[in-house]
Structure 1
Amino acid sequence: MSLFTNLLESMHMDLKITENCSRQSNLHSTCTFCVEACKKGALSPDLQSIDLNHEGCNSCGDCVIACPLSAIEGIVDSRDFCKGSLLYSESYTPTVKELLIYKKRGVQSIQTQDIPMNDQWKKVLTQTNKVLEVVGEPVIEVVQKAQVEEKLSRRSFLTSFKREGKQLAKNMAPASWKLEADQWKLAIYYPEYQFYTILIDRKKCTLCHACKTFCTQKVFQIVNQTLKINHQNCVGCTACSDICSEDAIQISTEVKKINEEYVELHSKICLNCGQSFVTFLPETLKCHVCKDRDPSWLSPYQ
């Protein structure tokens, strides 16, 4: 078998949905970002997972980019780059998140290669440039194909995700083509900004800690009798709002300077069970367990 054949085989890599998928740990998860991104219908939601039909998958990588938790491993196989340009293609439409990350990876422009850009691309590019203006970055321009340029393959471009500051050519190894965890999260590239804001209805919230337990991004923390909300950590996966039984959490898409919110908590002793608990409202008399417990049910503390 030739070295070239061995190389081709090493390049092949099926997509894999990892245990980071929120549907595997949260029965209430409604996350379907990857399903919505898949144009081939190769992904479908199941009760506790996302089913992947490898035969229907064309390895375009749209689902890899779309997953807010970087729970899909694989190669984005449908993008081409030429030096500092993303080459325009009507075969796909990038997302705002994708272009923002490419911008931080060195892409300065979109090269149309004399093909007029369609409305979908124009819309995404306009939205992306508005965000770039907010975060103080130069906008992405549209340029025509240069006379002579050395084309970098999409795989060599994505090897730059492997290690910051290394030249693309130095990462031309099959092991580098596999995207590592968290490489498609905006927080890595824009650490001074948050892209989501968590809104908690304090009148509804019972501080049952379900959101804190199921959030893998550590958005919620209890620190010195306060609830610390790390908005910058939020990736918009909706795990917290899905698990909230009180419908007390909303996620707002908003790009702004990072803001760590601290909300004062009050320590109380439950009037029914005598257990200590914390609450937003000082007038609250019962813990979250006793608040909704039928009086005929046995207390879990007895």
Structure 2
Amino acid sequence: MSMLTTWLESLAYEIQINTQCLHTISPKSSCQNCSVACPQNAITITESKAAINEELCTKCGACIPVCPQSSIQGRSPERFTVKDILLVDEGHPPPGVEELLYFYKKGIRYLSGNEDAQISLDTTNRLLLEMGLEPIKKSVIPEALEAAPSYSRRGFFQKISFEGRRLAAESITPVAWQFNHEVFNMTSMFDKISLYETIIDSRTCNLCEACFKLCPNQALSLTEEGLEINQSLCNGCSLCTDVCTIGSISVSLKARQAGKSSLDVARIDCSGCGSPFYVWPDEITEECSFCRERRQRGYLNPNGN
């Protein structure tokens, strides 16, 4: 198959959203990453799903890297490089934190163009510094562009777009970097590094278990041995904070050594319904929260007491 054929097929590729979308998992999800990133407002979000309007979608791919669940399948935005410089033309969507971290792993150390990427660049550099790595620096227009005097800067990028992947591969990109929807997953971005920090406030948490049951990455677990948070599995989707009705859990973007944290809990059999439930060690109660609420409201429990 020729490169031209492959390129033409890629233009016809439909961007799809699979069932890993947070809105499919829970209607309480507040995630708006894809709709905010879409420059054409082609993505609408309801309580049960995110949907793409094919008539508005230009397949720019801006929605793909920002999905914490990697649930949007397609080709990510076209990016061009000169040595260790990432070129971002004004006509392309600016890269987010996920893309910048990905390109950093591939050897990119400079960013040239599109001032709209400054906020993402600042956040990315904060994470890199937290990991003890050198930040990405801003660069002037590289020599590769200056060497093409017959084209304006915008014209140079337009020429690349029109001539397709062959010109990009031969004159700019030293290696054909293949993109897919999973390479931007923050949980596997850097070995032994967590990019999110999850904290549970034991002073207010009632151990209802909603966050443990809905966490798509099983970063939260509750056993007789304790409440465990596996920071390395957290992808920052924040579904746990969305389903917590009392605001006892928080998720923040912070680079740190991957690891697990745990809190002591005790397992008790409810005196009302007999079902097991968890409490904090210093909490004295014989009833689960459901039986306690039923009693306070004057309802009968399942055993008729």
With the length of structure 2 as denominator, give the TM-score of the two structures: 0.79
* Cα distance, 1:184 vs structure 2: 1.2
| CA shift in 2, pair 1:3/1:254, >3 Å | closer
Identify if the C-alpha distance between structure 1 residues 301 and 41 changes in structure 2 by more than 3 Å, giving closer, same or farther: farther
Secondary structure, counterpart of 1:293 in structure 2: helix
Paired position in structure 2 for 1:138: 134
Mean CA deviation greater in 269-278 or 19-28 = 269-278
* 1:300 Cα deviation from its structure 2 partner: 4.9
Alpha-carbon offset, residue 216 of structure 1: 1.0
SS of the equivalent of 2:24 reads: helix
Q: Which residue of 1 aligns with 2:9?
A: 10
Ranges in structure 1 where 5+ consecutive residues have no aligned partner: 160-166
Report deviation, 1:215: 0.7
Matched residues in 2 for 1:168 and 1:189: separation? 20
TM-score relative to the length of structure 1: 0.80
Aligned pair count reads: 279
The change in CA–CA distance for 1:247 and 1:6 in structure 2 (over 3 A counts) is same
Residue 263 of structure 1: how far off its partner (Å)? 0.7
Map of 1:48-59 to 2, 5 A cutoff?
Answer: 48-59=48-59
8 Å contact 1:101–1:186 — kept in the other structure?
Answer: no
Q: 1:223 offset after TM fit, Å?
A: 4.5
The 1:108/1:4 distance shift into structure 2, 3 A limit, reads: closer
- 1:155 & 1:8 partners in 2: Cα distance? 7
For the residues of structure 2 that align with 1:10 and 1:62, how far apart are their CA atoms? 19
Structure-2 change in CA distance of 1:279 and 1:85 (3 Å) = same
Given that 2:196 and 2:255 are in contact with CA atoms closer than 8 Å, whether structure 1 keeps it comes out as: yes
Q: Percent identity?
A: 25
Task: Pick closer, same or farther for the CA change 1:5–1:81 going to 2, 3 Å.
Answer: closer
SS in 1 for 2:251: strand
Matched-pair contact (CA < 8 Å) for 2:226–2:265: yes
Q: Distance in 1 between matches of 2:252 and 2:302?
A: 36
Query: Which of the two has higher C-alpha Rg?
Result: 2
Partner of 2:266: 266
Query: 2:251 — aligned with what?
Result: 251
State how far apart, in whole Å, the 2-side matches of 1:281 and 1:58 are: 55
**Larger displacement relative to structure 2 (269-278 or 237-246):** 269-278
Q: 1:122, 1:242 → 2: CA distance?
A: 28
1:114-193 alignment to 2 at 5 Å? 118=115, 120-143=116-139, 144-147=141-144, 168-169=175-176, 179-180=180-181, 182-193=182-193
Partner of 1:198: 198
1:292 alignment partner, SS class: helix
Moved more, 140-149 or 243-252: 140-149
Work out whether residues 196 and 254 of structure 1, in 8 Å CA contact, stay in contact via their aligned partners in 2.
Answer: yes
- Give the aligned CA root-mean-square deviation in angstroms: 3.0
Question: Structure 2, unaligned stretches of length 5 or more?
Answer: 149-156
Given the superposition, is the C-alpha separation of residues 111 and 137 from structure 1 closer, same or farther in structure 2, using an over 3 Å criterion? same
Deviation >4 Å, runs of 4+? 2-6, 151-156
Residues of 2 paired with 1:300 and 1:254: CA distance?
A: 45
Q: Report the equivalent of 1:162.
A: none
